[in-house]
Amino acid sequence: MPQIFHRSFNTISRVTIFGAVFIVAGLSYAAVVVARSSLLTGVGDTPSQPVPFSHEHHVKGLGLDCRFCHNTADKSAFAGMPSTHVCMNCHQQIQVGSAMLAPVRDSYKTGQSIQWQRVHNLADFVYFNHSVHVNKGVGCTSCHGPVGDMPLMYQHGTLLMEWCLDCHREPHRQVRPRDQVYEWAYEPPADQEDLGRKLVAEYGIKSLTHCSTCHR
């Protein structure tokens, strides 16, 4: 029976099969890299806001406590946004005629809320409770980054599940004394491992990694 394919086709077939494996592996790796890149996770994104509010000025410069604006951070799942009346407590006296603050004055006059754009936007299928984390000693900057150095607020973390699980698996690496939770310039001490484990026991923190913890 005559040979239909040339002997070289055996080599070509092997090369093609192995080449396909490497190509698939390479594409899979590239997909993982892209999925974790800032292009898709949004790390560093600074949404355009109606008013260019500066945390650097208000927190670092003026020393405002986080709860001055986000007054339900330790009481409810949502940290809360300040009403325009809170803003106008100061801005009826400071920068009264600033064009930049026109949306604030308009909101105060009309009663219409300012449409702030969410910076750290978790997926709808994820449940997150601010009060639980705050009251267990997780600092604001652990998730939101060094807000005192942010002229404009940007997304600090990836918000990926693995990012949350890193802390849930080893909470002692992030927990801090409760009186330091709102300290934007807080630096973990040299004995964070020992301090963290002590606080985990004292605050009754559990390493919750079950799916139902966040997906309810």
Q: How many CB atoms lie within 10 A of CB 164?
A: 19
Question: What would the two tokens of residue 61 be?
Answer: 């410069």
Give the confidence band of 14 by pLDDT, cuts at 50, 70, 90. confident
Query: Residue 196 in contact with residue 173, Cβ under 8 Å?
Result: yes
Torsion of Cα atoms, 195 then 200 then 204 then 208, to 10°: 170
Predicted local distance difference test score (pLDDT) of residue 6: 64
Give the confidence band of 37 by pLDDT, cuts at 50, 70, 90. confident
Domain ranges, ordered by start, for the chain: 8-35, 71-81+118-216
In this prediction, residues 129-141 reach a mean pLDDT of 97
Express each pLDDT in 105-117 by its tens digit.
999 999 999 999 9
Predicted local distance difference test score (pLDDT) of residue 15: 76
In this prediction, residues 164-182 reach a mean pLDDT of 96
Predicted local distance difference test score (pLDDT) of residue 24: 84
Q: How many CB atoms lie within 10 A of CB 53?
A: 20
Q: How many CB atoms lie within 10 A of CB 186?
A: 16
Q: What angle do CA 36, 41, 45 make, to 5 degrees?
A: 135
Give the confidence band of 2 by pLDDT, cuts at 50, 70, 90. low
